[in-house]
Amino acid sequence: MSDRLNVHGVSLLAHALDDDGGLGQDLAIAWIEEGKRLANAALAGASGPQRWEREHFGLQFEGERGIAFDLDDAENTEQLPTRTLLFLLQNWQEFLAAGPGAGSRTIKVNAV
């Protein structure tokens, strides 16, 4: 869950992180590694947007600019810095890897 809700009451970022494509936790953890790779590639100057997506939601990295988006509605986006998205991907991956014993966690993000 996220308190960064858009005008529709939805956090695209939260949905992009929890959209596991129906493949379950283990494959989601591995898939997050691909998202981190793409974010790092964008920060290193890769040409063109780097897209990480699942069934309904995704993240796009363009250098320092990151965008969470709805695959079914191209107008529905949420922008955050790529470094912030990379930080969140890392924390989400660690949370999933810790399993049910991890309890709840709160990550505060101050993003423009």
The yes-or-no verdict on residue 5 having pLDDT over 50 is yes
Say what the pLDDT of residue 9 is.
61
Structure tokens at 53: 């997506």
The yes-or-no verdict on residue 96 having pLDDT over 60 is yes
Mean pLDDT across the stretch 7-31? 78
Q: Give the whole-angstrom CA distance, residue 39 versus residue 61.
A: 6
Say what the pLDDT of residue 112 is.
46
Positive or negative: CA dihedral 92, 49, 110, 86 = positive
Q: Give the whole-angstrom CA distance, residue 80 versus residue 42.
A: 14
What is the pLDDT of the chain when averaged over all its residues?
84
Residues 24-73: tens digit of each pLDDT: 888 888 999 999 999 999 999 999 999 999 888 899 999 999 999 989 88
Can you name the residues that pair with 65 across neighbouring β-strands? 62, 81
Say what the pLDDT of residue 107 is.
62
Question: How many CB atoms are located within 10 Å of the residue 106 CB?
Answer: 5
Say what the pLDDT of residue 8 is.
62
